[in-house]
Amino acid sequence: MTAANDHKRILVLGGGTAGWMAANLMVRAWGKRGFEITLVESPDIGIIGVGEGSTPMLKTFMTSIGLDEADWMPACNATYKLGIRFDNWSTMPGFLRYFHPFPAQLDDLTSPPFYSNCRARRNGLDVEGHPDHFFLNTYMAEHKLSPFAGENFPFTTLYGYHFDSGLLGEFLGRLARQRGVRHVQARVTEATVDRSGNISAVIDDSGRALEADYFVDCTGFRSMLLQQTLGEPFVAFRDNLFNNAAVVFPTPRPAEIAPQTISTALQNGWAWTIPLTSRIGNGYVYSSAYTSADAAERELREFTGVGDAADVEARHLQMKVGRVAEHWKGNVVGVGLSQGFIEPLEATALLLVQLTIQGFIRALDDDNFGTGGRDAFNDDINARFDAVRDYIVAHYVVNSRSDTEYWQDNANNNKVSQSLFDVISTWTSGQDLTEELERQQIENFYPPMSWHCLLAGYGIYPAKAGLQARDTRMHQGKLAEIREFIRRCSLNYAPHMDVLDAQAGSGSV
């Protein structure tokens, strides 16, 4: 490796979304210092080509590389996302569906009564405990509103996006090349490792050696550099995340697009319904230990209403769920599927991609390209992976479906982490959930709002028959006030379709 402060050469191996996100962030951070950033990808291998939903963090990624929504959204058939609707995950009467909203500033006014109701109901009082009554984004998603209000209503709301992942990769690729990233199309067949355990070069199928100081492994599930070449161990999450396969196909979109992902529990997993401006993306994420690929495809066809239509071509995918033990080893950092993957229920993969690249850049900058920040970086990324895993596992272990062995086994799964066990115990024993998340210092990964929505949304409360009646008139009056407040606030927001149409027509909102 070259000495600190010298000109550096970074080689990103892989041109999926992770590779191009890495190349863009790195050229932004280091391009001005003259660092040489090269992205090598094999068109023969191709990209995974799924991954159509994001969290609000993708907005900060776009901003950090200097992009406005009007620059990239129409080019990627993108729509807005205010949260995720969960259908049929619970069988509790009154709780067959709930919405997990992204936070809005006005939640500061409506979440305290929600948390207080949740706690009261957990302790036996008959008060409204369903999250859907308390959040602005929930109401706005249902009424197909955008997250944009007029200037006279300066309250922000967080939002994510839906997009065509293939188009997003192409868009980011064009941008990175314009900004100076060198693009090499070649299949890498091996890597050479020096005596200190660092990779010194990758060799392509014509025998050419491509040398660099740092290698960013974005080779997808292959994890060619980190896992295959350096032998980094993989920590599988299969004990408590059973899903390992998916089947996907698109269907036409309706005229009006709601700014939400819908996640519907099916017999052996769940299906996503993701609206783009060009189509609906559908996918069924399931466990191959409980159903076959053919049966899963049939179930998704039935669910989406396409039946046996021959023009609907399904794609089948395998998923390797878990993470590497260390994301940065020697002079290699794994980013994207090569570092790990937690199934896509909360659409967190690109969030982890972004945090990994930003953390890596920061650690190198802060230590003048030394390795001083490596352990803290690895610990931080692992904590994030494990926190996302636990939040997702919670969706399965608190389910009350009993229709298939899959759901029963999920509900009976006792291999959850101590952290998740403590969160659920705090909830069921009627204690303060926010305090518990703070005690564990996990409130920054998934905030109290997310955990309350999940556990309340499934109706994890004492049986209705045993609840003690409350002063109903006062309670209903307060609820009506909250509903009316949310309804009135929502009047300030533009319809989702108006915003998308304006973007498509004029290039700006």
Q: Which of 8, 81, 320, 329 is catalytic?
A: 81
| 344 is a site residue for ligand FAD (CB under 6 A) | yes
Q: Does 48 help bind ligand FAD (rule: CB under 6 A)?
A: yes
Question: For residues 372 and 272, what is the distance between their CA atoms, to the nearest angstrom?
Answer: 41
Q: Which of 225, 230, 349, 381 binds ligand FAD (CB under 6 A)?
A: 349
Residue whose C-alpha is closest to residue 53's, from 170, 165, 218, 205: 165
Least separation in angstroms between CB 158 and ligand FAD:
16
> In the complex with ligand FAD, which residue's Cβ is closer, 54 or 240?
54
How many binding residues for ligand FAD (CB under 6 A)?
A: 39
The only residue of 40, 280, 381, 388 in contact with ligand FAD, by rule CB under 6 A: 40
Closest CA relative to residue 388, chosen from 439, 347, 432, 357 = 347
Residues 216 and 13 sit within 8 Å (Cβ to Cβ): yes
What whole-number distance in Å separates Cα of residue 353 and Cα of residue 204?
Answer: 25
- 81 counts as catalytic: yes
Take residue 426 and report the two structure tokens written for it: 């705090």
19 binds ligand FAD (CB under 6 A): yes
Using the minimum distance from each CB to ligand FAD, give the nearer residue, 345 or 394.
Answer: 345
Which neighbouring-strand residues pair with 298?
Answer: none
What single string gives the DSSP state of each residue in 66-133?
Answer: T--HHHHTGGGT-EEE-EEEEESS--STT-SEEEEEPPBTTHHHHHHHHHHHHHHHHTTB-----GGG
* Part of the chain binding ligand FAD (CB under 6 A), chosen from 7-15, 262-270, 360-368, 490-498: 7-15
Query: Taking CB under 6 A as the criterion, which residues in 276-295 touch ligand FAD?
Result: 283, 285
| Binding to ligand FAD in span 127-186, by CB under 6 A | 165
Question: Is 333 a binder of ligand FAD (CB under 6 A)?
Answer: no
Please name the residues in contact with 380: beta carbons below 8 A apart, sequence gap of 6 or more: 359
- Stretch binding ligand FAD (CB under 6 A), from 118-126, 215-223, 356-364, 460-468: 215-223
The closest alpha carbon to 175, from 58, 40, 77, 62, belongs to 62
CB of 282 closer than 8 Å to CB of 243: no
Is residue 317 involved in binding ligand FAD (CB under 6 A)? yes
Q: Select from 42-50, 362-370, 374-382, 430-438 the region that touches ligand FAD (CB under 6 A).
A: 42-50
Q: How far apart are CA 98 and CA 317, in angstroms?
A: 28
User: Residue numbers of the site for ligand FAD (CB under 6 A)?
Assistant: 13-19, 40-42, 45-48, 50-54, 165, 187-188, 218-220, 222, 224, 246, 283, 285, 317, 319, 336-338, 344, 347, 349-350
- Give the catalytic positions in this structure: 81
